[in-house]
Amino acid sequence: MHVFSLFSVFLSTTPTPVSEPTEEVGTNPSAASVLSTTVGELGSGMSAQEAIKSQAGCYEVTFQYRETEGFVDGYQLAKPKKSMAVEWVTIEEDSSERISLQHVLVSGPAMIKHWRQVWEYEATTLFTFQGHNTWQKEIRVKNDVTGQWAQRVYNVDDGLRYECIADWNLKEGDEHWRCATGAPLPRRESKRKDYTLLDRTNIHRLVDNGWVHEQLNSKVSVDGERRDVVAKEKGYNTYVKISDDQCQKAIDWWPKRRAAWRVIQRAWLDFYREKPTVRIRESHWGIPLWVRLFWLAKKDVSTEKRQQKVYSKALKLMKKHEMN
């Protein structure tokens, strides 16, 4: 089964099971192999930690999004979006209860720090996005999250994006994690003004030679207590494992940047720690926060004194972008 066949299956209203053959609509020699093998060929007995860490490696990534339905009179569905990239996913933390994966884009001669996903076992504190640059802290009862893994997703500047907690399904042939939560507008749609919240269902599904990030998204306009769905969208992002040689530049580049970003991550954690509600403006005096933090991440943090200076500056920038 080819990657494009699976994408057409996923976008159909009544999807064909992944293991069944579907009509081929195209081939891609570099990407087809990941989905030419059925998910049933994965090994049995996989733990949740192994499932999470199996997302690490060098990948050819295809991002695909398509609106499927509009709910506003006269609404015209947006044109489908598709882009490709090479991405290095590296394990930054690895313990029995916490795993961190950093994504780095390989873009020609340039390396770009991309998103970060942190997995935490039986987390009881989560921030949920409410719309209008606002996140609300929620406290879960320990018994309600028994055996579950929270995924915390962070922006390129390590600012909070969305968090969600659910069980990993480890049934052989259907290894996946599925969870629904609210999130800010994706960067690919940052110019849109007709909705304020992406109500997203994320599915991380393992396949024999990589993994797939499926999305079932509702684009929601939030006005006080009123929530109106503007449109629905399906996303299908494939991560096809390729030789680490194709990510060598990122493998060499990221360790030189890691230390500064860890200082900034520590500042973010301290910024969120005591707040029941977080409201962040994207720009201040015309400069986005992520740009300011990227500048800061270029600073030398080779000594404790320099680390403290970057930490203090990062915390100051976060507070400057905080909305009252």
Q: The tokens 């986005």 sit on which residue? A: 288
The pLDDT profile of the chain, 324 residues, written as one tens digit per residue, is 333 334 443 444 333 332 222 222 233 333 333 343 333 344 458 999 999 999 999 999 999 999 999 999 999 999 999 999 999 999 999 999 999 999 999 988 889 999 999 999 999 999 999 999 999 999 999 999 999 999 999 999 999 999 999 999 999 999 999 999 999 999 999 899 999 999 999 999 999 999 999 999 999 999 999 999 999 999 999 999 999 999 999 999 999 999 999 999 999 999 998 899 999 998 988 899 999 999 999 999 999 999 999 999 999 999 999 998
Distances (CA, A) of 226 to 2, 126, 198, 222, 271: 42, 23, 15, 6, 30
98-107: long-range contacts, CB 8 A cutoff, minimum separation 24: 99/49, 99/52, 99/53, 101/52, 101/53, 101/55, 101/56, 102/254, 104/247, 104/250, 104/253, 104/254, 105/250, 106/246, 106/247, 106/249, 106/250
pLDDT at 37: 32
* Strand spans (E) along the chain: 57-70, 81-94, 98-107, 110-121, 125-131, 134-139, 149-154, 160-166, 168-169, 176-183, 197-207, 210-223, 226-241, 277-279, 283-284, 287-288
What the block records as the tokens of 202 is: 């994320």
What domains are there in the chain, each with its CATH number?
42-246 (2.40.128), 251-320 (no CATH)
Q: What is the pTM of this model?
A: 0.86
For 220, half-sphere exposure in the C-beta direction (CA atoms, 13 angstrom radius) is 21
278 and 160 Cβ atoms separated by less than 8 Å: yes
Which H or E run contains 310? helix 304-320
pLDDT at 44: 52
Q: In what order do the strands lie in the sheet with 98-107?
A: 160-166, 149-154, 110-121, 98-107, 81-94, 57-70, 226-241, 210-223, 197-207, 176-183, 168-169
Question: What's the DSSP call for residue 244?
Answer: G
Q: The tokens 């207590």 sit on which residue? A: 225
Of 52, 108, 117, 60, which is closest to residue 241 (Cα–Cα)? 60
Of 72, 79, 65, which is closest to residue 220 (Cα–Cα)? 72
The residues near 253 (Cβ < 8 Å, ≥ 6 apart) are 104, 111
d(CA 30, CA 25): 16
The residues near 137 (Cβ < 8 Å, ≥ 6 apart) are 125, 126, 127, 275, 276, 277, 278
